[in-house]
Every structure is written in structure tokens, then in C-alpha cells.
């Protein structure tokens, strides 16, 4: 049974699409690693104000995943209750259309691998209740974390508990997230399975850097207060008064204008603080290899993929203790500070620069950790073993 390839359907509240090509790309990566062991189809539904027809189906085959995106015409009015019912009706109809197509072309679905519990988890729950298809849920949402302080409505909490209770397993990407979900009463079996990174693409540089200045990089959506770009810039300004042998680069698809303004006001723009825009995955891998350290100073996180990518690239990490990050970063892999503690970050950046200059970090050791924990083979294998356990019990 374990050697037979199963048909796995990925459902998700977030997935790359024509409106937001990077949305939920970490979900897509999980689908890719699962495809090493199983047949995978992915279904994602969203509204599009530019749709000429009420529904539009777009099929694609990419990286061994049969993907169906169903776009429905956005409900433009905001009449209470009526707009809600119309949105719900179109969303459900779009899912029905996508599921019909996938079943026709893909065959019988053995298991649903749902991502982002609410609200699309209601579709997974329906398929179990009326079609007898078991499902698991992989969760990434920071909204469950106490540090996010997100208000969750009574209705969402009640429906989420039903979705969770009927799942065979929930597989959060960190223990920190698992604890937060259990505290909210989302009760079922849990198994932590990490985010994944392409360790063939992300790997250490062939030769050690001979740069005089240590290159520190941050890659994200660049939003405050989540990533605390402002805090990193203030620390960079203080660090520039203590030493001049570093550069801090901020790279991402967010709005750089306010951060450029802050850096200019601190007199560090294009001397110590530099900004660049959206990069492809291959470009990010090249940037990682050409850097010396990865910096993350978030106020809240789960398990960011960039952390795994940095380790796979053989560079140490300086990070806040947000989310599941402390579950991985030891002294050999980098340094940790509490969120918002700018004095501790200043101290740690000084220390990591000295450590880099003295050759403390072993790039192969860092890369090996990523391979052992976040590679496609390791993470895909864990999902495959979990599917086997669930389906063997049917």
C-alpha cells in the first residue's frame, strides 16, 4: 500500500494566482515536495473584478502539479447579508466546478491536504462528510498566535473547531503554532511538519567571500509592524557609529518608499542601508549565496521559509525569538534576540559580524541542518508517511 502512488488534492485559502503570484507560495512548495511521492492536484478559488464571465477556469501543469484556478466575478456591491450570500454562493459554485474537473481528469481523490484552516476548510469537511474523503490541515496563519493579538469571531471559532475536530491531523509548521491552536480549542491529532525549501537551488557559495564589508540581508514583504523594518534601520544607524564594515540590504515586494525615507532621515541610505525590489526565487538564492548573514527582527512569525533558505545557503541568522524560529536557531546557526529589543539586536549584530570575520560559522554545517530538516525529500517523506497511516486506518 505504501508503495502505491496516491491521489492527493491540495485545497488552500492561499495559493499563487494571476492576481497575487506569490500568495501562499509556501503551500505550493509543500505540494511540490508531496509530488515526489504522490500524484498531486491543486485547487484554488478566488474572486476577480476583471472577470468578464461569472466563472473562469484556468488549468496548468507546473512542477508535477495539476493546478486548477477558478476565478469568479467579484461581487461589487456591499449590501449587508446579500453581498455575503452572493460571495458565498459564487465561491461554493467555483469549488464545485473545480472539483468536478479535477475528478474527471485526475481520478478518485484519496485524501485532501487542506491548507489554512478557515474558511476553505469547510470544503474539506464537506468532502469528508458526504464523500468519505479524509483530510489533513497544514496551518501557517499567524492570526492564531497570542503575539499577533488577532480577534477571532465567535462564528469563525465555532466553525474552525468543527473543521479541526473532523481532520485526521493538523500539521502546523512549528510547535509554537501548535500550542496556540490547542489553546484556542482546535482539538484533533497534531503532528509538526516544517516548511520546505529547495536545497538543490539554495546551497552554499563555492568559494568563501573575500569582501571587506559584511553583507547582511533581510528579505520579506517589508511591512511594519510585522517585520519591524523601522527597528532594523534604527539599529543599523547605531551600528554605523560603532563600525563601518557592514552593509544592510532590504529586499522584497513591499512598499520601500517609507523605509527609504526613514533611512535617509537617519543618514544611512546607500551607505549602510540599501533597498532592492522583488526577486525571483533563483535570484533570491543567488543573493543568499553572495551574503554573509540573514537578519529577521519580526514581532510575530510561524516558520518563515527565508530562514530555511538562508541556512541552506550556508549563512548564519540573527533573528527575533518570534514563533517557531527558536526551535531551530542554536549558537552554531546564529543568534537570537527578543522582539522589539533594539539594544540586544545591536549587540548581536556586532557579535555576528565579529564571528563571521573570525570564521566561526561552518557554511556546510548550516546547509546540512537545512537538508536534514527542510529539504523536499525530508518534508515530502513525512507527509507521505502520514498519508499512509491515515489511509491504512480507513
Q: What is the rounded CA–CA span in Å between residue 337 and residue 339?
A: 7
146-184 pLDDT, tens digit each: 887 788 899 999 999 999 999 999 999 999 999 999 999
- At a CB cut-off of 8 Å and minimum separation 6, what does 64 contact? 32, 35, 40
Q: Do residues 245 and 212 lie in contact, with contact meaning Cβ atoms separated by under 8 Å?
A: yes
Are residues 68 and 181 both part of a single domain? yes
Are residues 383 and 320 both part of a single domain? no
pLDDT at 314 (0 to 100): 97
Residues of the chain below pLDDT 50: 1
Residue 125 CB: number of other CB atoms within 10 A?
Answer: 20
For residue 138, give the CATH number of its domain: 3.40.50.2000
E strand residue ranges, the chain: 7-12, 39-48, 55-62, 65-73, 111-115, 135-139, 169-172, 214-220, 246-252, 273-276, 293-296, 317-320, 334-337
Q: Do residues 44 and 69 lie in contact, with contact meaning Cβ atoms separated by under 8 Å?
A: yes
pLDDT at 1 (0 to 100): 40
Residue-number span of the structural domain to which 78 is assigned: 7-196+375-392
Are residues 333 and 388 both part of a single domain? no
Total domain count for the chain? 2
Are residues 110 and 160 both part of a single domain? yes
pLDDT at 254 (0 to 100): 86
Amino acid at each position: 500500500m505504501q508503495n502505491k502512488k496516491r491521489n492527493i488534492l491540495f485545497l488552500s485559502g492561499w495559493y499563487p494566482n494571476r492576481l497575487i503570484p506569490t500568495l501562499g507560495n509556501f503551500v505550493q512548495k509543500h505540494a511540490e515536495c508531496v509530488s515526489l511521492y504522490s500524484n498531486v492536484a491543486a485547487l484554488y478559488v478566488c474572486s476577480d473584478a476583471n472577470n468578464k464571465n461569472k466563472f473562469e477556469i484556468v488549468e496548468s501543469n507546473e512542477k508535477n502539479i495539476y493546478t486548477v484556478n477558478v476565478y469568479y466575478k467579484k461581487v461589487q456591491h456591499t449590501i449587508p447579508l446579500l453581498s455575503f450570500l452572493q460571495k458565498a454562493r459564487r465561491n461554493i459554485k467555483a469549488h464545485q466546478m473545480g472539483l468536478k474537473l479535477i475528478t474527471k481528469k485526475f481520478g478518485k481523490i484519496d485524501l485532501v491536504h487542506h491548507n489554512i484552516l478557515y474558511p476553505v476548510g469547510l470544503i474539506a469537511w464537506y468532502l469528508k462528510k458526504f464523500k468519505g474523503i479524509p483530510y489533513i490541515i497544514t496551518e501557517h496563519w499567524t492570526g492564531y498566535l497570542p503575539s499577533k493579538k488577532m480577534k477571532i469571531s465567535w462564528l469563525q471559532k465555532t466553525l474552525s473547531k468543527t473543521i479541526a475536530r473532523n481532520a485526521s491531523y493538523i500539521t502546523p509548521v512549528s510547535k509554537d503554532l501548535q500550542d496556540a491552536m490547542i489553546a484556542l480549542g482546535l482539538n484533533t491529532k497534531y503532528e509538526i511538519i516544517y516548511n520546505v525549501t529547495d536545497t538543490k537551488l539554495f546551497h552554499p557559495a563555492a568559494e568563501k567571500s573575500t569582501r571587506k564589508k559584511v553583507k547582511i540581508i533581510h528579505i520579506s514583504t517589508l511591512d511594519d509592524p510585522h517585520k519591524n523594518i523601522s527597528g532594523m534601520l534604527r539599529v543599523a544607524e547605531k551600528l554605523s557609529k560603532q563600525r563601518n564594515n557592514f552593509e544592510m540590504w532590504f529586499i522584497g515586494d513591499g512598499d520601500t518608499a517609507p523605509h527609504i525615507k526613514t533611512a535617509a532621515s537617519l543618514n544611512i541610505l546607500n551607505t549602510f542601508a540599501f533597498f532592492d525590489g522583488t526577486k525571483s526565487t533563483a535570484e533570491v538564492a543567488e543573493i543568499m549565496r553572495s551574503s554573509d548573514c540573514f537578519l529577521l527582527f519580526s514581532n510575530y512569525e510561524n516558520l518563515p521559509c527565508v530562514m530555511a533558505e538562508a541556512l541552506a545557503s550556508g549563512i548564519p541568522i540573527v533573528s527575533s525569538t518570534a514563533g517557531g524560529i527558536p526551535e531551530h536557531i542554536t549558537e552554531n546557526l546564529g543568534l537570537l534576540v527578543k522582539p522589539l529589543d533594539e539594544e540586544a539586536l545591536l549587540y548581536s549584530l556586532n557579535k555576528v559580524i565579529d564571528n563571521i570575520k573570525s570564521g566561526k560559522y561552518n557554511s556546510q554545517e548550516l546547509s546540512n541542518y537545512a537538508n536534514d530538516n527542510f529539504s523536499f525529500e525530508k518534508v515530502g517523506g513525512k507527509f507521505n508517511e502520514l498519508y499512509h497511516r491515515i489511509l491504512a486506518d480507513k
